[in-house]
Amino acid sequence: MRVSGDWLAHGGTQQVLAVLGPVAFAVGGCVRNDLIGVPVADIDMATAHLPDQVIALAEAAGLRAVPTGIEHGTVTVIAQGRPHEVTTFRRDVETDGRHALVRFSTDMLDDARRRDFTMNALYADAGGVVHDPLCGLPDLIARRVRFIDDAAARIAEDHLRILRFFRFHAWYGDPDRGLDAEGLAACAAGVGGIARLSAERVTTELLKLLTAPDPAPAVAAMAQSGVLAAALPGAGARLLAVLVHLETAPPDPIRRLAILGADTGALRLSRKDAARLDLLRDGMAKATPPHELAYRHGAAAARDIALLRAALFEVPPPARLEADIALGAAARLPVSAADLMPGLQGAALGKRLKALEQRWIDGRFTPSRDDLLN
């Protein structure tokens, strides 16, 4: 079997593979995605060369080599404007569930065995020929996410693989096939290890999971196995499927996080995402009409809140939703503080202006300036 995407034919990628020679291969996500027709984003490579050799070969060819993770064997080689993460073949010597002590290797099989899932242990040479040292191709073709060798052992090496198992099923698994039974059982048995993971790693994985086209079946399996409660205390999975069914906009992990009803205090969200999550949850809990939401918070927030309310009550969004949102988003208050001065000052001025604004909103923005002032 071969890969033949534009990512492999790119002059920069071919140049890096040529410079490193026959002991260098594209590996992991780029090969996996090409084979199943999913767009390729990042290009990872694996090689028998040691990091210092990679740097020397790249620089001798006039390429820029950046030691981005040289202590772990990774060098980023930039060719024709494209970055390629090149990592020396490795084997695990010692693991503690969060970090691994590795040794460099010259054997592709060593490198393959330290990866997480069979569909990620696929390599391709410069000609696109796929090398499959662990027989992962049948799993990939069947869209079956399966741990390499013993699932419990892979999880013990890195507990984040529990969350990755569900994330990969949401993105690459067969939606009509249940999750791999051995992998699911191992995740349930190892759920206590999630508490040892950093909040940053957990947050990143959960947001990637919730960005999948339909993460609901995977999240439901997380709930049944106890993983969801460990990663997101208080979360419920049922309404996520309703929300996904109602969505017409692209997947949004923050909107979907809002419907889970979880305690997200332990997550490491950006300030922007945290503020948006609070706004969506607050909007769900109140009865503020869509036209007012759009006026105060913008069309996108109003649409998200309306969608979340619909999912919460398991009903379609209001028929007039888009018209009400457009009305509110375009509205501009026809009075200002200057219209109330000098008769009013300070707190009294602010209170009066706020009351007039609410009257105007309740009137669906129809009261004129004269109506409000008189």
Q: What is the pLDDT of residue 177?
A: 87
The token pair at 312 is: 């919460």
pTM of the model: 0.91
- The residues spanned by each domain of the chain are 1-141, 335-373
Please say whether the dihedral angle defined by the alpha carbons of residues 165, 170, 172 and 175, taken in this order, is positive or negative. positive
- CA dist 243 and 238 (Å) reads 9
Reading the chain (374 residues) residue by residue, the pLDDT tens digits are: 999 999 999 999 999 999 999 999 999 999 999 999 999 999 999 999 999 999 999 999 999 999 998 888 999 999 999 999 999 999 876 665 565 567 899 999 999 999 999 999 999 999 999 999 999 999 999 999 999 999 999 999 999 999 999 999 999 999 888 999 999 999 999 999 999 999 999 999 999 999 999 999 999 999 999 999 999 999 999 999 999 999 998 999 999 999 999 999 999 999 999 999 999 999 999 999 999 999 999 999 999 999 999 999 999 999 999 999 999 999 999 999 998 888 888 899 999 999 999 999 999 999 999 999 98
B/e letters for 175-202, b = 16+ CB within 10 Å, e = fewer, are eeeebbeebbebbeebbebbeebeeebb
- CA dist 280 and 192 (Å) reads 31
Answer whether 141's CB lies under 8 Å from 184's CB.
no
**Over 11-59, what HEC string results?**
HHHHHHHHHHHHHEEEECHHHHHHHHCCCCCCCEEEECCCHHHHHHHHH
* Consecutive H or E run containing 82: strand 82-88
| SS3 at position 92 | strand
Q: 1-141, what's its fold?
A: Beta Polymerase; domain 2 (3.30.460)
- Strand-pairing partners, residue 84, are 77
Q: What is the pLDDT of residue 70?
A: 86
